[in-house]
């Protein structure tokens, strides 16, 4: 059984279904013991995903409007309500065997939040958590959403961190089913922020928070 952890970084946005297929490949690799964990870092083409808590009631546009905007709708087995993925967002899918870290889902989700909080801290932005809502917040605006699933202590799905995202697309939903608060993107605070530098920081903070080094793996090797 390998104790190594890997990271796969995609350069171009991919469909949600393609990202799910990559997660399933990584899951097989981890469940077979070939890896302790595999971290996927990517961007999606515009899509609204609906989690196990539902979310179609929080969709504020009809299908014609969505098609005109080039946005797909996909149902998924992650936790949570409706959310948006699109270019300029860092989506992190950690496929981790928690039995080789800590069998504690609250600890795990808090650790995902901590990755983003530490990245933002390095950019001089104070972020935190809200008691009622999972995710990462800057004031009353949500900058990262979290939704996971776990099978035999192996995780799937993860977080979506808004870096240079088209926030107009969020106007078509109540993000995560939340009506009283809106979303933020890192470029609201730092207009010239470099997406790839932020992604590099996300990778580094995963190493810090989860106490492991991630060896880069080409996508074709999954």
Structure confidence at residue 54 (pLDDT): 54
Question: What are 87-125's pLDDT values in tens digits?
Answer: 999 999 999 999 999 999 999 999 999 999 999 999 999
CA distance 141 to 150: 27
| Lookup: tokens for 148 | 């996971």
CA distance 162 to 202: 12
Question: What are 152-177's pLDDT values in tens digits?
Answer: 999 999 999 999 998 887 777 665 54
Structure confidence at residue 173 (pLDDT): 65
Of residues 175 and 195, more confidently modeled: 195
Q: How confident is the model at residue 66 (pLDDT cuts 50, 70, 90)?
A: confident
Q: Give the residue-averaged pLDDT of 28-47.
A: 96
| Lookup: tokens for 59 | 């969709």
In whole numbers, what is the pLDDT of the chain averaged over residues? 89
The enclosing domain of 122 has a CATH number of 3.30.930.10
Q: Please determine, for residue 189, whether its predicted confidence score (pLDDT) is greater than 90.
A: yes
Of residues 70 and 128, more confidently modeled: 128
By three-state DSSP, how is residue 173 classified? strand
CA distance 202 to 196: 10
Range of the domain at 100: 5-221
Q: Please determine, for residue 180, whether its predicted confidence score (pLDDT) is greater than 70.
A: no
- Percent of the chain topping pLDDT 70: 89
CA distance 42 to 88: 10
Question: What residues are labeled active site?
Answer: 176
Q: How confident is the model at residue 181 (pLDDT cuts 50, 70, 90)?
A: low
Is the distance from CB of 87 to CB of 46 less than 8 angstroms? yes
Q: Please determine, for residue 80, whether its predicted confidence score (pLDDT) is greater than 70.
A: no
| Strands ordered across the beta sheet of 82-85 | 72-75, 47-50, 82-85
Q: Give the residue-averaged pLDDT of 78-83.
A: 70
| Lookup: tokens for 58 | 């929080």
How many domains is the chain partitioned into structurally?
1
Q: Give the residue-averaged pLDDT of 39-58.
A: 80
Residue 12 backbone class (left: φ over 0; alpha: ψ -120 to 50; beta: rest): beta
Kind of pairing between the strands at 82-85 and 47-50: antiparallel
Q: Calculate the CA dihedral of residues 145, 6, 17, 14 and round it to 10 degrees.
A: 80
> CA distances (Å), 10 to each of 46, 64, 142, in order?
16, 30, 24
Of residues 5 and 130, more confidently modeled: 5
CA distance 113 to 100: 20
């Amino acid at each position: 059984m390998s104790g190594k952890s890997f990271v796969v970084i995609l350069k171009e946005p991919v469909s949600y279904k393609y990202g799910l297929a990559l997660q399933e490949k990584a899951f097989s690799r981890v469940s077979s013991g070939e890896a302790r964990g595999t971290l996927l870092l990517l961007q999606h083409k515009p899509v609204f995903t609906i989690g196990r808590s539902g979310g179609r009631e929080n969709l504020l546009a009809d299908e014609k409007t969505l098609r005109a905007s080039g946005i797909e709708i996909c149902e998924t087995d992650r936790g949570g309500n409706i959310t948006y993925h699109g270019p300029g967002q860092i989506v992190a899918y950690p496929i981790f065997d928690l039995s080789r870290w800590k069998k504690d889902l609250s600890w795990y989700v808090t650790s995902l939040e901590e990755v983003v909080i530490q990245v933002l801290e390095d950019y001089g932005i104070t972020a935190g958590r809200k008691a009622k809502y999972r995710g990462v917040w800057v004031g009353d605006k949500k900058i990262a959403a979290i939704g996971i699933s776990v099978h035999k202590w192996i995780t799937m799905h993860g977080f979506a961190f808004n870096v240079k995202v088209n926030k107009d697309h969020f106007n078509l939903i109540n993000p995560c089913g939340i009506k009283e608060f809106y979303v933020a993107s890192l470029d609201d605070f730092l207009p010239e922020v470099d997406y790839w530098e932020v992604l590099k920081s996300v990778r580094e903070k995963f190493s810090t928070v989860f106490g492991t080094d991630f060896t880069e793996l080409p996508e074709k090797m999954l």
